[in-house]
């Protein structure tokens, strides 16, 4: 009789421990999803703000330049081609970011398959980085454009050198810090989502092996 009571007691303890493990695991899963949702929401807001502010700004800056292009001689043709290249590079970079946002980031859903979500995050991160690399390529045509304009107007070469220097300083003081802040922001929140998804995947695999 005592042995039977002892067995029942152990069974009761095992059941309570199992229930406690289930509750703890559910709490961990909920905490991971909550943390990921927070990072995902911030990434979405940042992308929307970047698109809303970035596109009009690009149009405002480059439309007057493109509309005023003249192809009257060889120098102007080269200048026009370089200006068009700048716009193409900016368009490609923005396009990659928007595509990554719509195609992958907006489709991340923590209620769906974890493997699919991991794939979407990785694809988004890859396209985001490629878009940034593409944008940095604009330095080449802009530099060549200044050189072309300086050779076209040798009397004003000092003005072009000064303008190029001002833009370079502006880039290092304003644009470069903004880029690093943005990169840090993306790295932090993408990393948070990836880490949470990996942990959720591990918990899922543990449950599968336990069954």
Q: 52-104, pLDDT tens digit by residue?
A: 887 787 788 777 777 777 777 777 788 888 888 988 998 898 889 889 999 99
| pLDDT classification of 126: cutoffs 50, 70, 90 | very high
4, part of any domain: no
Are 188 and 125 in contact by the 8 Å Cβ rule? The answer is no
Tokens standing for 110? 């923590």
pTM for the predicted model, two decimal places: 0.75
pLDDT for the residue 21: 54
23, part of any domain: no
188, part of any domain: yes
Tell me how long the chain is: 211
Tokens standing for 199? 């942990």
Are 42 and 189 in contact by the 8 Å Cβ rule? The answer is yes
22, part of any domain: no
- Distance separating alpha carbons of residues 210 and 156, to the nearest angstrom: 77
170, part of any domain: yes
12, part of any domain: no
Structural domain range at position 150: 34-210
14, part of any domain: no
Tell me which long-range contacts 175-183 makes (C-beta under 8 A, separation of at least 24).
Answer: 179/132, 182/46, 183/132
pLDDT mean over 138-166: 78
How many domains is the chain partitioned into structurally?
1
Counting Cβ atoms within 10 Å, is residue 199 exposed (0-12), middle (13-18) or buried (19+)? Answer: middle
80, part of any domain: yes
């Amino acid at each position: 009789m005592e042995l039977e009571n002892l067995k029942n007691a152990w069974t009761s303890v095992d059941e309570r421990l199992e229930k406690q493990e289930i509750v703890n695991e559910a709490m961990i899963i909920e905490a991971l999803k909550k943390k990921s949702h927070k990072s995902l929401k911030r990434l979405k807001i940042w992308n929307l703000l970047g698109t809303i502010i970035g596109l009009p700004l690009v149009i405002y800056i480059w439309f007057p330049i493109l509309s005023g292009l003249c192809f009257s001689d060889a120098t102007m043709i080269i200048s026009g081609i370089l200006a068009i290249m700048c716009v193409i590079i900016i368009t490609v970079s923005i396009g990659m970011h928007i595509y990554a946002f719509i195609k992958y980031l907006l489709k991340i859903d923590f209620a769906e398959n974890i493997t699919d979500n991991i794939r979407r995050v990785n694809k988004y991160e890859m396209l985001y980085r490629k878009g940034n690399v593409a944008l940095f390529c604009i330095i080449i045509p802009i530099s060549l454009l200044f050189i072309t304009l300086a050779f076209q107007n040798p009397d004003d070469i000092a003005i072009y050198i000064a303008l190029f220097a001002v833009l370079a300083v502006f880039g290092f003081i304003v644009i470069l810090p903004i880029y690093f802040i943005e990169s840090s922001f993306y790295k932090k929140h993408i990393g948070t989502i990836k880490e949470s998804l990996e942990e959720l995947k591990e918990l899922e695999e543990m449950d599968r092996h336990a069954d």
